[in-house]
Chains A and B, each alone.
Chain A
């Protein structure tokens, strides 16, 4: 066969594979928007579930996911950024540093349900937090840590070395250099990483199954020691555990969940592209 013909066939085949990969993704999003949009109303977003969750709204799940995301950020953001600063600004290439990197890669690969087991073992039972927002947030924090560390480290390393040299030569200490020069320059990249990490946390179900998720709560949680409803867990519940669930509420819940998650994704993308446009180095 003519090798140019082979090339054309090959390119077409790969184009087809790529198309078949992305088409269902678009399909999924468009389908959920089309099916879920009719369910969205003020009552759906601001009301409590009624009639065994078959009617009413999903407010407790929305608020719960918001609290969990906030709780996760409280722990994972400072810890993750500090760890990234250590790796980018302080660590030398020793075996210990390599061990840290291997640990980060492993944290990223541990199955989410194993995080759930770990959270149950350490936070719920051993530290006696019970199934609570606190226990679930801590579990999610450790899960999001590798995302935040890797993205932040990359952003910090992208800041040109000359910036640091100049700051040090003007008499700045290492920490002053990091805080006033390196961090501000790396901020958009760090923020992007943080949001992508939290986006994962907001959409996860398995880690909160036994650490903080409640099947149904007639009220909003009052304190970090309360269990909470959450959007992903609620979607799981109403699509597997509740018989004769109206489709519209299921699709509406799925739509609110992906709007929450993809909204965060969109914010991250905007921050990234705006920072890229403004960057002078």
Chain B
């Protein structure tokens, strides 16, 4: 064999291997830089102050609790919308819709996934918020609820596509078995197909949740940006401020290496750890069910 081929092969293999590991390197780098810029916050702001209820950086109040509760309430509202609509649509597409309907619905849901969130935020300001203000008779439409509605829409495509894949992966024989013993298609869906796909559906919900917590622009534009504690049920109808929106809105104006700068990175670190937890849990659910499937098949 040609000698030059030999070393070329070696070099290319090495390059490809290195690129293969890049994802690990990047996750590690992101974690490292968030730690590097965010951890100093713990030294500069006493822990009790950091987890207090007042966020007012210009007066040196760095309590991140209002931001955490803000993220929680907006996300909670979003999931209340996205779970029924997302799973309902996924079941409809995978189990019920005739072929032509499916061919229309799927690209439309993908279209929603492709819409930039800033466009949704823009329509949120001009259309959704004024509508909510009049419809619910609120002092302002820029509320946690407006954020939840947009976030629900943003989480739906994620939930639909993953839940639909999970339903598709359920062997046809399961359905045939249920139908053969006299179950209706509806009973088959609820008692056989959905339970069989539950780990995938759970993954879909987890990843939708991850999308919702991490979403920035749309939320920042429509939630009214008031860092108040969301403690009561009606907080949903008042302005709120999420962790992501706080970083996006304030990072542009802070001095490098100031306390405020470090605290914003610390919030980023919290977000990173949340997304890590969500995704590792979601992927381990998939792995576990796969192993179970292998055990069943072998």
Q: Which residues of A contact B (CB under 8 A)?
A: 3-4, 6-7, 10-11, 13-15, 17-18, 20-22, 24-26, 28-29, 31-32, 78-79, 82-83, 85-87, 90-91, 99-118, 120-122, 125-126, 142, 145-146, 149, 173-175, 196, 199-200, 202-206, 209-210, 232-233, 235-236, 239-240, 247, 250, 254, 257-258, 261-262, 265, 269
Nearest Cβ distance between residue A263 and chain B, in whole angstroms?
11
When distances are taken between beta carbons in the complex, the residues of chain A under 8 Å from B108 are 22, 25-26
Smallest distance from the beta carbon of B14 to chain A beta carbons, Å? 11
For residue A171, give the distance in angstroms from its CB to the closest CB of chain B. 8
* Known A14-B92, A100-B24, A122-B33; contact A209-B107, beta-carbon cutoff 8 A: no
- A235 CB contacts on chain B under 8 angstroms: 118-119, 122
Q: Report chain B residues within 8 Å CB of A79.
A: 19, 22
Shortest C-beta distance, B122 to chain A (Å), equals 5
The answer to the question of B13 belonging to the interface, with a C-beta cut-off of 8 Å to chain A, is yes
Q: Which 10 A-B pairs have the closest CB atoms?
A: A111-B214, A86-B20, A203-B116, A17-B88, A82-B19, A7-B186, A121-B33, A103-B23, A109-B279, A18-B92
Which A residues touch B217, using CB under 8 A?
Answer: 205-206, 232, 236
Q: In the complex the two chains form, is A17's CB within 8 Å of B85's CB?
A: yes
B116 near A205 with CB under 8 A, answer yes
Instruction: Return the contact of A31 from the options B5, B107, B123 (Cβ within 8 A).
Output: B123
B24–A21 touching, CB < 8 Å? no
Q: Decide: A118 near B33, CB < 8 A? Known: A110-B275, A205-B116.
A: yes
26 contacts between A and B (CB under 8 A): A14-B88, A15-B96, A18-B92, A18-B105, A21-B88, A21-B89, A25-B109, A100-B21, A100-B23, A100-B24, A106-B27, A107-B23, A111-B213, A114-B275, A116-B251, A121-B34, A142-B30, A203-B119, A204-B116, A205-B117, A239-B125, A239-B126, A239-B221, A254-B122, A257-B119, A258-B116
Which chain B residues border A20 with CB–CB below 8 Å? 85
Closest chain B residue, CB of each to CB of A269:
B107
With a cutoff of 8 Å between Cβ atoms, the chain A residues found around residue B84 in the complex are 17
- In the complex, the answer to whether A82 meets B118 with C-beta atoms within 8 Å is no
Docked pose: A269 CA to B114 CA in angstroms:
12
Residues in chain B near residue A24, CB distance under 8 A: 153
How many A-B contacts if CB must be within 8 Å? 262
Inter-chain contacts of B88 with A (CB < 8 A): 13-14, 17-18, 21
Beyond known contacts A113-B248, A175-B13: 14 more, CB 8 A cutoff: A7-B184, A18-B92, A25-B112, A29-B115, A86-B17, A90-B20, A100-B23, A103-B24, A103-B26, A110-B272, A112-B214, A116-B247, A203-B114, A235-B122
Complex Cα spacing A204 to B282, Å:
25
Residues of A within 8 A of B189 (CB): 10
Q: A151: shortest Cβ distance to chain B, in Å?
A: 13
Cα of A125 to Cα of B160 in the assembled complex, Å: 39
Please name all residues of chain B whose beta carbon is closer than 8 Å to the beta carbon of A258 when the two chains form the complex. Answer: 115-116, 119
* Contact flags B271-294 to A (C-beta < 8 A → 1, else 0): 110011011101100000000000
Determine if B239 is an interface residue (Cβ-Cβ < 8 Å): no
CA distance A110 to B271 in the complex (A): 8
Interface presence of B111 (CB below 8 A): yes
Interface centre among A4, A79, A109, A122 (most CB of B within 10 A): A109
The reply on B48 being an interface residue by CB < 8 A is no
Q: Is the pair A3, B187 in contact by a Cβ cutoff of 8 Å? A: yes
| Residue among B108, B118, B207 having the largest count of chain A Cβ atoms under 10 Å | B118
Indicate whether B136 reaches chain A with its CB closer than 8 angstroms: no
Closest B residue to A113 using CB positions:
B216
Q: Is B49 an interface residue (CB 8 A)?
A: no
Given A109-B207, A111-B271, A100 contacting B29 (CB threshold 8 A): no
Q: Tell yes or no: B198 within 8 A of A by CB.
A: no
> Which of chain B's residues have a CB closer than 8 A to the CB of A196?
114
- Does residue B9 face the partner (Cβ distance < 8 Å to A)? yes
Chain A minimum-CB-distance residue to B106: A22
A265 touches B111 (CB 8 A): yes
Closest to B85 in A: A21
Per the bound structure, the CA–CA distance linking A236 and B24 in Å amounts to 33
Contact A114 B272 (CB under 8 A): yes
Which residues of chain B are within 8 angstroms of A145 by Cβ–Cβ distance?
A: 22-23, 26
Residues of B within 8 A of A202 (CB): 116
A258 to B33, CA, bound (A): 33
Inter-subunit contact B9/A261 (CB<8 Å): no
**Neighbouring A residues of B96 by C-beta, 8 Å:** 11, 14-15
Q: Which of A90, A236, A262 contacts B118 (CB 8 A)?
A: A236
Closest-by-CB residue of B relative to A238 is B122
Residues of B within 8 A of A11 (CB): 96, 186
- Closest Cβ neighbor of B33 among chain A residues: A121
Query: For the complex, what is the distance from the CA of A67 to the CA of B211, rounded to whole Å?
Result: 27
